[in-house]
Amino acid sequence: MPVVPAQPFDYSFPEGRLALVVIDMQRDFVEPGGFGESLGNDVTRLQAIVPALQRLVTACREAGVPVIHTRECHRADLSDLPPAKRDRGDPALRIGDPGPMGRILVAGEPGAEIVPALAPLPGEAVIDKPGKGAFYATAFADALEAANASHLLMTGVTTEVCVQTTMREANDRGYECLLVEDCTESYFPEFKAATLEMVRAQGAIVGWTATSDQVIEVLSP
Ligand code: C5J
């Protein structure tokens, strides 16, 4: 079995059972003018992981590891958007409002698309999700089953929100998850650091962490 030198201890996975999960690398979170910026965040922090993630995606594709993408977005009629999500806080633009990249976090709008550098290839699963976790109200579990996955490389944004929620949900469902440290990011560096610490604490209570170099090293084409 391939072995990744990870924290808090080595991570091994059976050949053919690994999948790469790329969470919400959408223009609305990563580019100026989208949802992330409307909440007052500096989106350049998130843009910075794109090259490393692009390298990991390419390595997975070359090694035959399935790549599954998610997008946080809502139906045009917002029927899958609870008031508790739309009305909370005081953002400059709310979900569904028109912005420079179309309606914020609405499926089919330019802002809801995955950034071009990480665009899914034909045949790769793309899961639209209304919540933070990828399992809620989606076909994500079916996509993992179709990929024959038991082990997941977790990446994307934001570390402590959609990535961590999905990783915890996957862990509860029996998946062995590794969070790739330089392929995930938060608007808040301290939240990313805390997430890395908490997932691998207590003997990998939620899972493992490693760098993309450590993962790529063991992926053989
Ligand atoms: C957030 C996400 N942070 N993809 N979404 O609202 O983490």
Query: pLDDT of the chain along its 221 residues, tens only?
Result: 999 999 999 999 999 999 999 999 999 999 999 999 999 999 999 999 999 999 999 999 999 999 999 999 999 999 999 999 999 999 999 999 999 999 999 999 999 999 999 999 999 999 999 999 999 999 999 999 999 999 999 999 999 999 999 999 999 999 999 999 999 999 999 999 999 999 999 999 999 999 999 999 999 77
28, 20, 215, 170: CA torsion to nearest 10? 100
Cβ–ligand 1 contact at 72 (below 6 Å): yes
CA of 6 to the centre of ligand 1 (A): 26
Cβ–ligand 1 contact at 158 (below 6 Å): yes
Q: Report pLDDT for 67.
A: 99
Atom of ligand 1 nearest to the CA of 187: 3
Q: Which of 28, 60, 129, 183 is catalytic?
A: 129
Q: Which of 162, 177, 183, 192 is catalytic?
A: 162
24 is known as an active-site residue: yes
162 is known as an active-site residue: yes
CA of 77 to the centre of ligand 1 (A): 21
